[in-house]
């Protein structure tokens, strides 16, 4: 059982063959071009792949703990989501599991992304990620105030 | 502080809607949102209720994890606290938006060079 705050699921139909989509997922360099990271290592099951991510002008390191690679079917890895606080040490914190599942459909490839395990991430860390995003709570509270005033 | 209000929130089931389902408490939230942390004296100003009644409303809001009291010197102030559930939901929205953007770029990549 997962709660509504524990899991994200996304689906997209890509107008490209599963083989092409698989290359964009399994090749760390290609993965990086759309994900927004620059990987130094290849993806391999049971191996960590390290890369760099640019976020609001800062360069941060990102690590994918690759778990499963089933060609044209599934890529699964764990990572620290939204690890954008350069002063924080995320290494002792739980990771989320990301699964990218492929299925051939007449239009091309259906890609289903699920990310689970958010409820295990400390709530303060989740609040921090939100704070660091533009606006943060100030904007949110403005919305409440506006709502109350009207 | 988040841990405390998280415990309060889960203990009380759906406390946020109940806590906000009152005109006075909504006004308190709006005041704290507009003016930042306020003392009980400032919060009571303009209300027809007694300080005691306002304090009761504040404790309902505090139990729901919506406000907390903070000490500033000898003064006790009340401040808004984002609810843990709201934090959790907004956080998922952020992660979700990031995936949407990434998948858009993935589509652009695999759909253009395959022709």
Here the CATH number for the domain that contains residue A62 is 3.30.530.20
**Mean pLDDT, residues A40-69 taken together:** 91
Domain range for A113 is: 7-120
CB contact under 8 A, A20 and B91: no
Strands A58-70 and A7-14: unpaired
The Cα of A31 is separated from the nearest Cα of chain B by a number of Å equal to: 8
Q: For residue A111, count other CB atoms closer than 10 A to its CB.
A: 23
Nearest to A100 by CA among A81, A78, A126, A119: A78
Averaging pLDDT over each range in A52-61, A90-99, A106-115, B59-68, which range is the top one?
Answer: A106-115
Q: Do residues B60 and B28 make contact, with C-beta atoms less than 8 angstroms apart?
A: no
Per the domain annotation, does A149 fall within a domain? no
In-domain check, residue A109: yes
User: Does the residue A1 lie in any domain?
Assistant: no
Q: Which residues contact A19 (CB under 8 A, 6 or more apart)?
A: A72
ipTM of the complex: 0.83
Report yes or no: B24 and B43 within 8 Å, Cβ to Cβ.
no
- Residue-wise pLDDT for B53-112, tens only, equals 999 999 988 887 788 888 888 888 998 876 667 778 878 888 888 899 999 999 999 998
Residue in chain A lying closest to B82 (CA):
A137
A58 found inside a domain: yes
Residue A41 has pLDDT above 80, yes or no: yes
**B97 close to A (CB below 8 A):** no
If one counts the domains in chain A, the total is 1
């Amino acid at each position: 059982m997962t709660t509504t705050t524990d899991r994200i699921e996304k689906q997209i139909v890509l107008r490209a063959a599963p083989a092409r989509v698989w290359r964009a997922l399994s090749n760390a360099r290609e993965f990086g071009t759309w994900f927004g990271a620059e990987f130094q290592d290849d993806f391999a099951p049971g191996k960590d792949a390290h890369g760099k991510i640019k976020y609001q002008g800062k360069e941060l390191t990102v690590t994918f703990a690759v778990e499963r690679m089933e060609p044209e079917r599934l890529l699964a890895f764990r990572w620290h989501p939204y690890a954008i606080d350069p002063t924080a040490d995320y290494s002792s914190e739980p990771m989320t599991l990301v699964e990218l599942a492929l299925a051939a459909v007449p239009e091309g490839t259906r890609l289903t992304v699920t990310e689970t395990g958010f409820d295990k991430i400390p709530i303060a860390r989740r609040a921090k990620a939100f704070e660091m995003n533009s606006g943060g709570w100030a904007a949110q509270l403005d919305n409440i105030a506006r709502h109350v005033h009207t | 502080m988040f841990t405390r209000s998280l415990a309060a929130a889960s203990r009380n089931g759906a406390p946020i809607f109940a806590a906000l389902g009152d005109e006075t408490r909504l006004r308190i939230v709006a005041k704290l949102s507009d003016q930042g942390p306020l003392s009980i004296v400032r919060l009571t100003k303009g209300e027809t209720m007694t300080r005691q009644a306002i304090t009761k409303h504040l404790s309902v809001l505090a139990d729901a994890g919506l406000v907390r009291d903070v000490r500033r010197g000898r003064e006790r102030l009340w401040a808004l606290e984002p609810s843990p559930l709201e934090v959790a939901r907004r956080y998922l929205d952020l992660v979700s938006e990031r995936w949407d953007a990434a998948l858009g770029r993935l589509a652009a990549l695999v759909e253009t060079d395959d022709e």
